[in-house]
Chain A
Amino acid sequence: MKNRIHVLRAERRWTQAELAEHLNVSRQTINALETEKYDPSLQLAFGIARLFGKPMEEIFLFEADQVPPTTEG
């Protein structure tokens, strides 16, 4: 899943370690999130949204091919 964590962090001039401290996770986890190699749990995603004061859909971006298929009818 795409996300804007790197941009939002840069706007606040935080290092990965500082953001990690705010969210109570490791710096490695921040790096994995920013490089989009790991999708956070719902709890951590809400924590990120709250910390940056933005709605979740402005931080995490779903692409059309990632939306699970819906049943028609």
Chain B
Amino acid sequence: MNTKPRMTPAKANRRYQTEVVVAMVIYMALMAAVVPTLKTHPALPERVTLAILPVLPVVWVIWAVIKYLGRADELQRRVHIEALAIAAGVTAFLSLSYGFLEDMAGFPHIPLWWVFMVIDLVWAGSACILWRRYK
């Protein structure tokens, strides 16, 4: 049995939102610092370290999502897991299809970080649509 007092789903939701907002502000601040630096000094030896720096707050976001799913109630968890499954499927399909178009039909290259954007957007959109079922 888990004897640790459980955070209420409402409090878990607020905590999650706060963590994501703070992490995204740090992310944007790091991007604002790193991108111009690397553009003006392309030969910096710390290039790799600087380029990877903005993903640190993203790790925090992933950790916040895992904690949120653990603290959410059964319906919230069901909606988000279903939305994440849809997001994973749609993103896998889109990246595979575009990969073929890029390789074999000469479509312009899209950077890999777009995968993150697509999975997040489809997750959020699917969760909104799925919630309507229960309203």
A-B contact count (CB 8 A): 44
Select from chain B the residue with minimum beta-carbon distance to A33.
Answer: B75
* B47 nearest CB across to chain A (Å): 45
B135:A24 contact, CB within 8 angstroms: no
Q: Across the interface, do B135 and A40 meet the contact criterion of CB distance under 8 Å?
A: no
Interface size, A (range): 10 to 19
Q: Is B75's CB under 8 angstroms from A29's CB?
A: yes
How many angstroms between the C-alpha atoms of A24 and B76 in the bound complex?
12
CB pair B134–A24 under 8 Å, yes or no, is: no
Q: Are B74 and A24 in contact (CB under 8 A)?
A: no
Q: Which of A20, A25, A31, A37 touches B74 (beta carbons < 8 Å)? A: A25
Among B73, B75, B131, B133, which residue has its beta carbon within 8 angstroms of that of A24?
B73
Question: Whole-angstrom distance from the CB of A30 to the nearest CB of chain B?
Answer: 10
Q: Are B9 and A25 in contact (CB under 8 A)?
A: yes
Q: How far is the CA of A31 from the CA of B131 in the complex (A)?
A: 12
**In the complex, chain A residues 10-41 whose Cβ is within 8 Å of any chain B Cβ:** 20-21, 24-29, 31-32, 35, 37-38, 40-41
Residues in A with CB closer than 8 Å to B133 are: 37
A44 at the interface (CB under 8 A from B): yes
> Cβ of B97 < 8 Å from any Cβ of A?
no
6 contacts between A and B (CB under 8 A): A20-B9, A21-B8, A24-B73, A25-B9, A25-B74, A31-B135
Q: Which residues of B contact A (CB under 8 A)?
A: 6, 8-10, 13, 72-76, 131, 133-135
Chain A residues engaging chain B, CB cutoff 8 angstroms: 20-21, 24-29, 31-32, 35, 37-38, 40-41, 44
